[in-house]
A and B are shown apart, each in its own frame.
Chain A
């Protein structure tokens, strides 16, 4: 019945947009970091080379992990997550403090951000817990508590860095996964409600977080650094107009927009490539999201489905929050834009996660129904 050769088991609709984003990110990071690197390191190319190398490594990791059967992770996820939690403790004990928060640990020559590892480790392990305890999911004791037991230390440790936004987003992702796994709505509501309460108390407990929120909602004096950053981001977008000022022509990166190559790189893209450019970029994420959830629908087993959904949710939430922050519809948080922002940990772990997603996809038969493997039953 199948006369044609076996089609490629690589899901091009996921790989191509992500590979494209990673390639373009080299150009974006170069534009956005040139002025900063020129002054800081004496060469405008200092940061972009780092980034280009990381992109190459990331693409390699993605292909490598795409070849590894995702079921391997079901058995090892607990170990990986334990290691990640260990790193999170290390960060608090001996991390490198940057701008008032300890988010990095030094591992030999590299600074790495354990929260990025912990995020994906928790997603994989949650998928594992949710799929192996299926029958018990609607009970507190056997279904929900084990998940909370893993999630809470991760969130708390990250919140203590302090990095509330990452902690909240991780919480949100786990909640989405529980929702997908058909956890009882009542249980979900209780957890989400208490989560909100804790986050609210936490948010007002530190002055800088409160100021950010006040500034976002239009209060304050209007010249807070965070307000300045947002204003400069909007100027970048607005100056870009419909078609942008052209590649490499950004002016906002010339010390007007702080962190222009990091969390606010999206606005530099908006300046250089205009509304057309950022719309294409956002559409790439829409495509990835749609394709990711399609994989989640069709994955051969529950773990695969939840894994694909969890990874897709993570990428989608990060992309949306980052874009929303830079264009001023969400309060300022420090989340990178996946595949675009400068930063090794983010590139590596996102690439690995996509590799895992690609492996699920290759077994989900999203291309042709006839190539799909039968479900376990």
Chain B
């Protein structure tokens, strides 16, 4: 039965109609959702992925640099860079104070950076070594941003700074070997896919897609750390003593062309790159050219001997030091000689004799020898910024060009080119390719590719080289180079004193003083050049450059593996040897001790334990070999040193306690609200 059939109620069918209408409307919604979620789902999932994921580069570590005996010169250390979101920072004063304790600038600098920052990101301090300042890891501030960045660590501070070169904060090589071998050293950075939220904040996802960075390969240099150290030390001293503007020392192994040391003064501290000038950063040995002066006479002599124009003991006439040239110019000698031998003329460095003798050589012949010794051509050394000097071609020669060139004027060359020529004489007449890298290392530190010595050409015969070497020994024994003489070792060498062109004129104010030679003369192991720019106390290479040469040789004699008696004699004649104290802070005691031992020093722990926080004397200072360096470790953990971790997230609390050497027992999760001690165990309650 139907009890309400009698009354017509339009709401009945209209309700039914509305049910249908809304069912239809909802069906449209479902249809639309089917389209968006199922049919076009892939398109939106792509869009989603794009906005959720961000590839964050993982920086590769640069390869390390070691010396020829695999001693570290430059390694990588883990550092933290600090930045801030100025709008979020909660304790600006505290952050600034703590940063100024660890980094180099005052708290005010950091505060100013925070205050003057535009936007929401400002770098505060980059590359801070937090190992030494663990307190920095405990700063809790929502506005402080930490970025882990590997940074170059220079084991020996400023040692070989120009040669090693510099990198920028983004791991690009800028100068020196860092630039030249950037492709090998830099490695290949990887990436990790981080998850991003709508405000652009990143967080790691679960099992993120990542490609590990491939660390750079290391380089084994031809440099000998000890020789380099002594060379820099003595160069700096010599430049100061002579009142010179700058100076260069290069040492090379004649038989292989391997550069053993390359020092330039002034230098810089790679840890304070912002204060370094271009003057201090460039490798003067290859970037600066100068007129070599009398050191050129050995090249002229080699040409004369090889062309058999005369023999070492043939008579020549020094004209008592005055020679009038065809064009009216006058050549004079500082040590005038009259009738003498060829050998004597070289020993006394007679310009007159060499200018006269050069007449016997045809322009083209003379040019050929000079060029074959490497002048006017870039040596091709594996360093950036090399110049090739200036060598006139025979068709550019004027009436007296050759005469002036014969004693080193009207030609310019780098210190390396001059040294290479002498190294060729030392190597029995064969010019070798100079190079700084001995091998490329695997990432594990083994030699991957060894770089073999490479001959460039034979310049003169063995006989010529032998006679010339003998004549050059005479220069040191009896002539202008006597300041370089060391009893017990035969040194062949030549002084150079060259007027510099000032406003296009040779003047009497500015000189280049140099000494180049090799030793031991009968079986040369090292060829070395010392060059001083604009010395004041004395202009002569024989009195300013030669003593530097001698002191370097004396202090590095052990390298030559001479017999014990000779070594003793040499050691007795030399001064007390000093070394520069390396930075051992942040190292463990045993590591620090082994670093110091290589320099003939010892580490002595006077307080604390664990990693070294302080050292005395400070790094960079100079102390005598054989003495010890006081180091202090972290304070001993006693009852008063128990870290307070209340309020820390549990994970950080555990890290802090373990680092301080305690055992940890955990109750709960979340933030620490209570800690109790039982002996060496800390019971941490978190919620």
Contacts and interface: CB of A to CB of B under 8 A. Distances in A.
B198 A254 contact: yes
A257 B18 contact: no
Contact of B16 (A235, A274, A297): A297
B43 A238 contact: yes
A16 interface: no
A296 B12 CA distance: 8
B52 A251 contact: yes
A296 B11 contact: yes
Contact of B33 (A235, A278, A305): A278
A235 B25 contact: no
Interface in A151-197: 176, 179-182
Interface in A263-312: 270, 274-275, 278-279, 282-283, 285-286, 289-290, 293-294, 296-297, 302, 305-306, 309
B23 A238 contact: no
Contacts of B36: 234, 237-238, 327-328
B676 interface: no
B7 interface: yes
Nearest to B31: A329
A343 interface: no
Given A293-B16, A305-B11, A372 B3 contact: yes
Contacts of B30: 278-279, 282
A255 interface: yes
B670 interface: no
Interface in A84-105: none
Contacts of A182: 10-11, 14
A293 B37 contact: no
A279 B30 CA distance: 6
Chain A interface, >50% SS class: helix
B34 A327 contact: no
A35 interface: yes
B145 to A, nearest CB: 17
B199 interface: yes
B3 to A, nearest CB: 6
A296 B41 CA distance: 39
Contact of B38 (A242, A252, A256, A302): A242
A257 B52 CA distance: 12
Interface in A353-374: 372, 374
B32 A235 contact: no
A240 interface: yes
Contact of A239 (B25, B32, B48): B48
Nearest to A302: B11
Contact of B47 (A235, A274, A293, A309): A235
A17 interface: no
B625 to A, nearest CB: 61
B198 A257 contact: yes
How many residues of B sit at the interface, in one of the four size bands?
35 or more
Interface string B26-46: 101110111011101111110
Nearest to A182: B10
A22 to B, nearest CB: 19
Nearest to B40: A238
Given A180-B18, A309-B11, A320 B25 contact: yes
A313 B23 CA distance: 12
A256 B197 contact: yes
B51 interface: yes
Interface string A302-343: 100110010001001001100110011100000000000000
Nearest to A365: B3
A179 B23 contact: no
B11 A181 contact: yes
Interface in B1-25: 3-4, 6-7, 9-12, 14-16, 18-19, 22-23, 25
A375 interface: yes
A97 B199 CA distance: 25
Nearest to B36: A237
Contact of A254 (B14, B19, B44, B197): B197
Interface in B382-429: none
A377 interface: yes
Given A282-B29, A305-B11, A275 B48 contact: no
Contacts of A279: 30, 33
B198 A256 contact: yes
B23 A290 contact: yes
A375 B44 contact: no
A327 B14 contact: no
Given A237-B44, A377-B6, 10 more contacts: A35-B197, A234-B36, A237-B37, A238-B37, A241-B45, A278-B30, A305-B11, A313-B18, A327-B29, A327-B33
25 contacts: A180-B15, A181-B11, A182-B14, A235-B44, A238-B45, A238-B47, A240-B37, A241-B37, A241-B41, A241-B45, A251-B197, A274-B37, A279-B30, A279-B33, A282-B26, A282-B33, A290-B19, A297-B12, A305-B9, A305-B11, A306-B11, A309-B18, A327-B36, A328-B32, A329-B32
Interface of A: 35, 176, 179-182, 234-235, 237-242, 251-252, 254-257, 270, 274-275, 278-279, 282-283, 285-286, 289-290, 293-294, 296-297, 302, 305-306, 309, 313, 316, 319-320, 323-324, 327-329, 372, 374-375, 377
Interface of B: 3-4, 6-7, 9-12, 14-16, 18-19, 22-23, 25-26, 28-30, 32-34, 36-38, 40-45, 47-48, 51-52, 195, 197-199
